[in-house]
Amino acid sequence: MENLSEDKTLAVISEGLYLLNLLFPLLPLLALAWLWQRHRGSATGLLANHLHQAFIGAVIATLLFTAANLLIIVLGGYRSLHALIIFELYYIICVPLLLIPGLLGLIKAMAGQTYRFPLIGRVDV
């Protein structure tokens, strides 16, 4: 019973770090990578489901954020109108598409249930 409680706690932490990664890319991703590396072989069920999907989702979110920044740099820097438009599109399109599954995943983790992120789907690691 104690292991189930620890798995649930780590699943909630994983989903929380995923959501935090949407606001502050990289540092929560590093924490998720450490958790994933630490529990990669031993995680089963609830923890494996939430930890692997949160890690993959955080990698995708960080890549999208990095791509938006690189596009801004290529198109004229942060003082250009392109920067405003790209960040507006990023925060209007990308963040909600990543935020909603993350919130649902957090709710399911808190309830002790598994959840499959759309587009990421079933993770076999």
What confidence tens digit (pLDDT) does each residue in 47-82 have? 888 888 899 999 999 999 999 999 999 998 889 898
Angle CA 24–35–101, to nearest 5: 55
Q: Which structure tokens are listed for 113?
A: 């249930």
Give the HSE-up count for residue 33: Cα atoms under 13 Å, Cβ half-sphere. 10
Quote the CA–CA distance of 34 and 50 in Å, as a whole number: 14
User: Degrees (nearest 5) of the Cα angle 55, 8, 28?
Assistant: 30
Which letter does DSSP use for residue 106 in this model?
Answer: H
User: Residue 1: which pLDDT band, with cuts at 50, 70 and 90?
Assistant: very low
Domain boundaries, the chain: 2-110
Neighbours of 97 (CB within 10 A): 14
Least confident of 2-6, 26-30, 109-113: 2-6
How far is C-alpha 50 from the geometric centre of its chain's CA atoms?
Answer: 10
Q: What is the pTM of this model?
A: 0.87
Alpha carbons 125 and 116: distance in angstroms, whole number:
14
Joined tokens for residue 104: 């649902």
pLDDT interval class at 2 (50, 70, 90): low
Crossing angle, helix 27-39 and helix 2-23, to 10 degrees?
150
